[in-house]
Structure 1
């Protein structure tokens, strides 16, 4: 898996919208079985054809896309669709402001407008409402960028938002960014990330191609100091689940190698985003989130990238550091840093190992995050009973081998809590580590839970390993809360449901 690796090249930016993940990568959103059978199916390429007869629920591509663009500084987001498509913005206003405070950014509210399409607009079109909203945003807020989140309804009725943007070109001071995240086009919710970055790449990042870019050292007036800074600059690509503590920890480790670190694109200014191509290396911590972006940055600017692993736990943090250090030829410095950090963290983890050794765990959430988290808890003496990734693609295939038990259950499912609860009711792990929203369901089974990520805590790097171990040990030292919830709050399923095969709903292609 790359380590600077496979040369992902694309020719998608000429299109109005990003391709769906069904078209672009080998991935599956429906699978039930074991680690070994998932690896076999991915190797034969047949799991990508799996589907569900019935889908209980899943994520919204618009939500994921907006999770990126609404963090940009001095930006107005216009949600083009029915009123309900804006509901998520209310819930994120608080932590967005908190993040800006932590990052020493201007403390502003998220500014968002809504075209509020109704039944009449479905018949006559909503372009006039969108035009009015864009002009209002420009005159009222004077933003650096106006981002249009195009939801399902305008996609169905055929509103041409790109033609409108072309019509307004030259009349606005703000850059206008179309984000096509019509959820009905793809069963992979992560396509929303690609939709956001498609618009960012087309409209916000300065379009200087690699064959037009000169080496800073060869440019007139460029000093040796400027060239040195450029050659040591790393773009650390953050994601919505990255906490401020994670960014501090990962930046600390890279700066210890003598590198200049720029954390982006979330919470960056439009000016900072426009200069994203000015770096020696792009470092992704989540392939699901970033592969579309870094592939285009490599194609346009010639910027190499690392998409190796997610630095959770000791093993994967070491692997992450070594891959970055190898690019800059800092292997010796990296080994010294790893030796020092590993010695300290191993000693700090000893008390927690006594609590966790022999316990069982189930992990659910994003694919790379859950496999690296599971590997870390495994290294502390826990047994991994199962994993539930939202989707599974080629970037995570090598991580299957990190799970000691090849028969550990894998349930690939975006949402589908009823399916997951049947699995958990049989496995009965001592601890569930899960994505936001899943913990409430699982607690009603009497299983102690801890969140997979959170904006208030540190999960990555060596300090993150300490926090992960500490949280798990604390949950298992007192399980009374989960037991009392289970005794007093029932789940809405009959006994017959728990006796059924949880994967009967999956239409699986035969692996012949």
Structure 2
């Protein structure tokens, strides 16, 4: 089957084998400088932007606030239909770096409280103020009695940790906003759950998103969702959250820190599963919630009804897909693991996760442990292109290595789960391009099955040669990602597109 050579392969084996090599230090797990990720500041403020009626004060240069505003707050306020909630900067400059910025921070907090009257003020430290050592905690502590808003400092300077630590820090620290459960609150919320680990704010009202599907499923078995944390949650919801019957992790890796913190501090039970792609994962997620709600019988009846609604089409698709090969792009580690779980458990397919970076074997331990415990140990293929320059998931080199691996594979028996920017000679399913979602739950499992079967049915049609020329121009000069659609430009390699006549094929034009 394979025409790939040994010198093109970094690793080819089971996930458990890669995991062991990473733990023993026998495979490089660092991300080289060209494989940049968001910093701790960015991921922290991404979660914080999902708290409603909150103002983030970025204690640092104005550029940090601009990025958060453009990427997160404007989108969240638009999606929720709420008034714009500003992201404010203390506008640190050269004088601040030399003389300190505590006075500016104090004035900014007072002005924000007076001008916007938010429920919450969050002070997020940047690299600059973290380096000079401003005593942010002291400034915040002295103002707590002088302002109307709740206030919290978040020490998320970008140099002080990788992007994952920003998520974990905020999810653990916002537990401080929460109040201890009381018998009265527990009685009120005894049939309610929190969905925890959401890292973005409200979702577009006109789209049936994955989180909305989970909310529908919870309602369907007769329970309620108290809060999605942090997805457009309010201060009141945060305060009462520990009194809910159970926390259900949306993303296992990101939901676990806040779930564990709430369990340790307030005794709130935690239901942790992998992302609920497919029926097997969905049922485990729902039954985990039902157990703590005391609603196992209702959940079983509801799940049967949900399955019956898709059974005929789903079983036909399952029979058709059994035994087929699925190549799953691995750059989104958590999603690729969850998709592999669905393809094997639900459809009986053979998943191969392609270019699951060795770094993810350390960064995603929680999800990997869970997957292996369920008996799913997918095949992993890592080629040298993923360790090369640029954005490793979008390299032309990795595409050519994949084609070499596939060799003479029958397109009618193989499907590629990945970006529409990739052009392997096999059918493609781009889950990010499914606009009539959801992709979770029973309806999501059927939707994915339909996408696979449709893709395989049209395997005889070649991918668009025109689109490929746009992504990989043959005779163009320096091509900018901004010249393409927003979807394409967001997923392009870090520096530029590839132009063959200027450099060797697959080489970056900036080198």
TM range (shorter): 0.7 to 0.9
User: Is the Cα–Cα contact under 8 Å of residues 277 and 440 in structure 2 kept in the other structure?
Assistant: yes
What corresponds to 1:489 in structure 2? Answer: 471
Q: Secondary structure at the match of 1:190?
A: helix
What corresponds to 1:462 in structure 2? Answer: 442
What corresponds to 2:476 in structure 1? Answer: none
Corresponding residue to 2:221 among 230, 254, 257: 257
What corresponds to 1:168 in structure 2? Answer: 143
Unpaired segments ≥5 residues, structure 2: 1-9, 407-413, 473-496
After TM superposition, give the deviation of residue 129 of structure 1 in Å: 2.6
Change (3 A) 1:301 1:489: closer
Q: Secondary structure at the match of 1:84?
A: helix
- Residues of 1 paired with 2:124 and 2:350: CA distance? 43
Corresponding residue to 2:191 among 232, 244, 250: 232
Q: Secondary structure at the match of 1:277?
A: helix
What corresponds to 1:190 in structure 2? Answer: 164
Unpaired segments ≥5 residues, structure 1: 1-30, 102-106, 217-225, 500-512
TM-score, with structure 1 as normaliser? 0.74
After the TM superposition, which residues 22-61 of structure 1 pair with which residues of structure 2 at under 5 Å, given as runs?
34=13, 35-41=15-21, 46=25, 50-52=29-31, 54-61=33-40
What corresponds to 1:156 in structure 2? Answer: 131
Change (3 A) 1:84 1:394: same
1:459-504 deviation per Cα after TM superposition (whole angstroms, max 9, x unaligned): 21112223333445556648766532223432438897879xxxxx
User: Is the Cα–Cα contact under 8 Å of residues 361 and 382 in structure 1 kept in the other structure?
Assistant: no
Change (3 A) 1:94 1:113: closer
The answer as to 2:417 corresponding to 1:417 is no
After the TM superposition, which residues 442-481 of structure 1 pair with which residues of structure 2 at under 5 Å, given as runs?
442=422, 448=428, 450-452=430-432, 457-472=437-452, 477=458
After TM superposition, give the deviation of residue 166 of structure 1 in Å: 1.3
- Residues of 1 paired with 2:378 and 2:143: CA distance? 57
What corresponds to 1:306 in structure 2? Answer: 271
1:340-378 deviation per Cα after TM superposition (whole angstroms, max 9, x unaligned): 322332323367669867453323354333212223244
1:314-333 deviation per Cα after TM superposition (whole angstroms, max 9, x unaligned): 11111212222233443333
Q: Pairwise CA RMSD of aligned residues?
A: 3.7
Change (3 A) 1:352 1:316: same
- Residues of 2 paired with 1:185 and 1:485: CA distance? 41
After TM superposition, give the deviation of residue 143 of structure 1 in Å: 0.7
- Residues of 2 paired with 1:295 and 1:426: CA distance? 41
User: Is the Cα–Cα contact under 8 Å of residues 151 and 182 in structure 1 kept in the other structure?
Assistant: yes
What corresponds to 2:489 in structure 1? Answer: none
Q: Secondary structure at the match of 2:379?
A: coil
1:91-140 deviation per Cα after TM superposition (whole angstroms, max 9, x unaligned): 44554134314xxxxx2213111223233322222323322221221111
What corresponds to 1:385 in structure 2? Answer: 352
- Residues of 1 paired with 2:254 and 2:92: CA distance? 30
The answer as to 2:387 corresponding to 1:408 is no
TM-score, with structure 2 as normaliser? 0.74
Corresponding residue to 2:243 among 272, 278, 294: 278
**How many residues get paired?**
443
